[in-house]
Amino acid sequence: MISAGEFRNGITFEYEGNVYQVVEFQHVKPGKGAAFVRTKLKNVINGGVVEKTFRPTDKMPKAHIERKDMEYLYQDGDLFYFMDQETYEQTPLNTSQLGDALKFVKENMIVKILSYKGNVFGVEPPNFVELQVTATEPGFKGDTSTGATKPATLETGAEIAVPLFIDNGDMIRVDTRTGEYMERA
């Protein structure tokens, strides 16, 4: 069991028949009245975000989310196939289970498959990946004084903003949590 007073970002718990992960929390102690915890929670199964307030003494059962390393193999229509690194067993997942998670993942990359009580609900790509730029406009010197960007399409099909000096064929490092360009690889 975990009490609302112990909430931290990333903690998962069961509440009203759903599994939630704490995205944001704030302990509030008003001048009058009892303290409370204001939270922003993400439903880990369907991805919905809700805001709830709890008393610091409210207790909920902690939810254990299993994270397993698997290799992304290939896509076949709406199914994406992943292979367990230990048993070599293949697991097909459909688009609704993955959402936007695979836009920075290419074949043969190791990702974490997230499941709760045996039900897979998501994929967690590595925090940083190296991808090739497949299409971008040429940048011109003198266009700007500082920090200008242009759109670029990566080998996975994702589109991000990159600095003007990046050209077609360049390998770049991308932060998958924010979708931002980090540096040349």
Summarised one tens digit per residue, pLDDT across range 10-58 is: 788 988 888 888 888 898 888 888 889 999 998 887 778 899 999 888 8
Rounded to 5 degrees, φ, ψ at 103 are -70, -15
Summarised one tens digit per residue, pLDDT across range 82-96 is: 998 889 888 888 877
Domains, the chain, with CATH or none: 2-60 (2.30.30.30), 66-124 (2.40.50.140), 128-184 (2.40.50.140)
CA trace torsion 53, 54, 59, 62 (10° rounding) = 20
